[in-house]
Every structure is written in C-alpha cells, then in structure tokens.
Amino acid sequence: MDDLALAIRMAGIRKSFSGNVVLNEVDFGLRRGEVHVLAGGNGAGKSTLMKILQGVYSLDAGRIEIDGRDVVLHSIHEARQAGIGMVFQEFSLIPTLSVAKNVFLGTERLARSHLLDDASSVTRTREIFADMGVDIDPNMPMSKLGTAYWQLTEIAKALAQNAKVLILDEPTASLAKHEVELLFALVGRLAASGISIIYISHRMDEIFRIADRITVLRDGNRVLTAPLSELSPADVVEAIVGRKVDGTLQWRERTVDRSGAPLLEVRALSAGRRVQDVSFVAHAGEIIGLAGLMGSGRTELARCLFGIDPIDSGTVHIHGKQIELRSSADAIAVGIALIPEDRRVQGLVLQHSVRDNLLITQLKGLRRGPLLNDRKGSATAAKLIQQLSVKTASPNLAVGRLSGGNQQKVVIGKWLGTDPEILIMDEPTAGVDIGTKSEIIERIRDLADAGKVVVVISSELPELLAVSDRIVVLRSGSIEREFERHEIENEHTLQLAIQGVSS
Ligand SMILES: Nc1ncnc2c1ncn2[C@@H]1O[C@H](COP(=O)(O)OP(=O)(O)OP(=O)(O)O)[C@@H](O)[C@H]1O
Ligand SMILES: [Mg+2]
C-alpha cells in the first residue's frame, strides 16, 4: 500500500510485561480519513497497542510513523502534540469539574495561562459541541451527566487538542441505541472531515456498520487486516476466536415450573420518577430479561431491588414474605445480589489480586478460624477464573493489570461466587468478547437451573433474546409489555416494543 496515504504506521511492535509477551511483531496501518476497527478477544492486546501509540507505554521493539515521519513517543503529551487523541475505556474526566473545564483539562490553553480562562474555554467548548452536533451545556458539572455524555465530552476533549487521529476504545459499551446512532453519525462526519479513527469494539453489528477496514489481534499477534466489504461476520468471529464458531447467540427454551408460589414478587413498586407502579413475579429457575431504552427505569428498578434507592410505595416479597429493603445490606441478607452497570463504581479493588477480588464477597463461607482458608479460597478462585476464562498471568496479579474485559469478568465472577438466590445483572457483558458472552450466558442458565432467579438488563437485544425465558419491557418507568420469550419472533419485534410501537 502507498505509505503516503497512511496517517499512522506501526511496524514490528513488541511489548512484554514482566516476561509476558503481549504484542508480538504487530504491524498496523491507519489511512487518512478511514474508520479502522481493531478487534480481538479480551486480553488480545488492543488497548496495549493503542497505549503505545498514545505514549502511555514504551515499546520494546518496533517503529511508529506519523504522517510518514518516524516518531518516538515518550509521553501522552508528545502523542497529543503529534495529533493523537484517545477516548479511554476508563474515563479520564473529573466528575466535580464542569464539562468545559474537563474539555480543556491538562491542555496548553491552561498550561500557558496558569489561570483558567473560563469564558474562552466555555465558548470554545460550545463551538466544538456545535460542530459535533451535540447539545451539552459546557457549564454543567460532569457528575450530572450520564455515561453517553462522558463519552462525547472525551471526544470533544480530543478535538479541542486538534487530534488528527482519534482512538475510541469500546465507545458504545454503555450507550443506548439512540446515543449509539448519535455517535455513529459523529464518527462518520469526523472521518469525512479527514480525521482518522481507530475503533475498538466487540460488537459485530457495529463493526460492519461503521468501519472501512479491520485489524484483528489474537494473543498479541496480528491475524487479519482487510476491508470489511470482503469479510462476513463469520470470518471476523473466526479470526477473533481462532476457530470456526457460530457467532450468533442461541436461545435455548427452558422449562420453568410456575405452578407454585413465585420466588420473587414485586407489587406496585414506585420510586422517584423513574419507577412507576411496577409489578412482576419470577419463579425459581426463571431468567427474566428487562428491556427498555436508556432512562426507561431499568437501572433504577434494579437499584430499588438492591436497596440502594428508596422505595416510595409498593412491596417486594421473597417466597411470599414481604421484605424490607432499606439498604444493600438488607438486600444481601435476603439473598439478592446486583452486578451494577457502572464500571467506575463496580467495586474492584484494583491494586488487590484477582483472587482476592473474586473472594471478597464470600469471605464468610471461606473463613476458618481467624484465617482465610487458603486452599479452599484458591480452588474457588481458580474455578471462577477457568469458568469465565479470565485471562490473567496468575491469580495473584493485581486486577488493575488485567484488560478491560477481563476486569469485567472478575466483577461477574465475584457475584457468581456468592451463590445469591436472586441475581440482578445490569449490562453484564458490556465489553466482554464474543467467546465469553456465550460462557456468561451459560453461567446464567446454570444459576437458573439451580433454582435461582436471574434478572438480566441488557441493551444488546441478541443477548437478551438468547438468555431470557420472559422479557419485561419498561418504558418511562412503567411496564409497557411482558412477553414469553417464545412469543417474540425476532429482534425487530422486541425493538418495536421497546420503542413503544405496538405490533
Ligand atoms: N500494565 C500491565 N501490566 C501487566 N500486564 C498487563 C498490563 N497491561 C496489560 N497487561 C496484559 O496485557 C494483555 C493485553 O491487555 P490489553 O488491555 O491490551 O487487552 P485488550 O485487547 O484491550 O482486551 P479487552 O478487550 O478486554 O479490553 C492482558 O493479558 C493484560 O493482562
Ligand atoms: Mg482493552
């Protein structure tokens, strides 16, 4: 290929962490104005490659060219100067500061003046958002805004620094459908204006929609670079997983005995403005999918059931007995567990080991005398690591060292290990790779088969359709419809119900 057309060329990139080879002679070329997807399983090396391009990590061997010139990037600052902007998988924004302050945080504008030139950064932020076609008030504190707006603010921040290359690491992991559309339109416009975009994603549908080309990494090796027009989804999945697999998640009809009393019964629950008169029941062994748009009250309902948000009226019953839910301690005491949606507060202790993070929720069961039963603990941790294929050099590695998707698996493993009677999972597979998605669905079925109730909230409809026995659709805080899974013909039917269009 004509190298002059390349905005970025990375050649022969090698990187190891304590003897562990994470990138092995990786080549990567990014053309001007293209959207190039970087794909691969959890821990394949995507973020590491991008952190090298971002000046966060040094490379052990290899070369980087930007616009045809050799560069050595010693720091984020140098990479930024060279025109590389990154939207981090874990956000780099400060919640207590305003949007505008975040957009100009750590940039030259501030460094040069020492004083925050508030007026000009607000004006400039407003211009950038206008260009992006996004409506955000630059004076809002970050903490008041939802995840989608954090994402967009990160992009604005990169654009404020005149990025020519934009790296988006799983940008849609926690976005609702209409926000995804907003982001896609923005990506299209940016690419058309000549900005080159590297897009990391685990979602097959969006890879094919958005990208011109794809590069797949597997265990630190580049295994594929090609235009997407020449590939089928099955080709991509095969490159990622390393063998032929059926990329689609399959629904398996399960039989649930609903003759007896329900395990969980929610009666006319209202809380704040987001949960209005919600009633549903779940029998032991049942998997309930909660569908709805962002803001439809799914997360709020989950938070009520876990005792985080106060209940205004209505009752919750377990095995027919009314329970009090004044705190999450109340919820845990009656066997309810929640895997929350927000990674930032998911409660991993990053500097602690994978093993300790997995066991933290079940110390009681493992305690023998004053000391943790070491052998039993290690066996439990090892089993969870294996079940969820957590990619870690050792159970003793600090969890903060794992890739994003593998951290997510530890969060899930942590709660699976507690053996709750009712497990609520809010967007459980966001950021998890295709191979592991089906494993997580298997674990959910195992729990249900063991007589638990599992409530799954997911914006990914294929996943929701694969896992649920019954789907409850929420809209503006109320139940819009309830489906037996077999009543739903396809994704489109469910999509219409979610949008509030009756079929
Ligand atoms: N600072 C670090 N120290 C030790 N190991 C690391 C460090 N950063 C990454 N790794 C390891 O490098 C490997 C690749 O991680 P990376 O974050 O690049 O994966 P990824 O492809 O981005 O995965 P995901 O899809 O889960 O985000 C993983 O095995 C990870 O544990
Ligand atoms: Mg990553």
Tokens of 47: 């973020």
CB atoms inside a 10 Å sphere around CB 167: 28
Residue minimizing CA distance to atom 19 of ligand 1: 43
Half-sphere exposure at residue 318, Cβ-oriented, CA atoms within 13 angstroms: 18
Name the burial class of residue 171, with classes exposed (0-12), middle (13-18) and buried (19+) by CB atoms within 10 angstroms of its CB: buried
CATH 3.40.50.300 fits 264-335+420-499, yes or no: yes
Identify whether the C-beta of residue 151 lies closer than 8 Å to the C-beta of residue 87: yes
Distance 341 CA to ligand 2 centre (A): 17
What does 408-462 look like in DSSP terms, one character per residue?
HHHHHHHHHTT--SEEEEESTTTT--HHHHHHHHHHHHHHHHTT-EEEEE-S-HH
| Residue 169: closest CA among 202, 208, 146 | 202
Question: What's the order of all strands across the beta sheet hosting 20-31?
Answer: 20-31, 6-17, 61-66, 69-71
3-state secondary structure 447-480: HHHCCCEEEEECCCHHHHHHHCCEEEEEECCEEE
* CATH level 2 (architecture), domain 3-241: 3-Layer(aba) Sandwich (3.40)
For CATH 3.40.50.300, list the domain ranges present in the chain.
Answer: 3-241, 264-335+420-499
Half-sphere exposure at residue 174, Cβ-oriented, CA atoms within 13 angstroms: 21
Distance 406 CA to ligand 1 centre (A): 8
Q: Is there an atom of ligand 1 within 6 Å of 46 CB? A: yes
Could you tell me which residues come within 8 angstroms of residue 332 by beta carbon, excluding any fewer than 6 positions away? Answer: none
> pTM for the complete prediction?
0.81
- pLDDT tens for the chain, 503 residues long, are 555 689 999 999 999 998 899 999 999 999 999 999 999 999 999 999 999 999 999 999 999 999 999 999 999 889 989 999 887 656 678 889 999 999 988 765 554 554 556 788 899 899 988 887 778 899 999 888 877 788 888 888 888 888 999 999 888 766 766 778 888 988 998 999 899 999 999 888 889 999 999 999 999 999 999 999 999 988 998 999 888 776 567 898 999 999 999 999 999 999 988 899 999 999 999 999 999 887 788 989 999 999 999 999 999 999 999 999 999 889 989 999 998 876 555 668 888 999 999 988 776 655 555 455 678 888 989 998 998 889 999 999 999 899 888 888 898 888 877 778 999 998 888 888 888 888 889 889 999 999 999 999 998 888 999 999 999 999 989 999 999 999 998 888 998 888 887 55
Distance 5 CA to ligand 1 centre (A): 30
- DSSP alpha helices (H): ranges in 138-195? 147-160, 177-192
Express the helix, strand and coil content of the chain in percent, nearest 5 each.
40, 25, 35
Q: Is there an atom of ligand 1 within 6 Å of 17 CB? A: yes
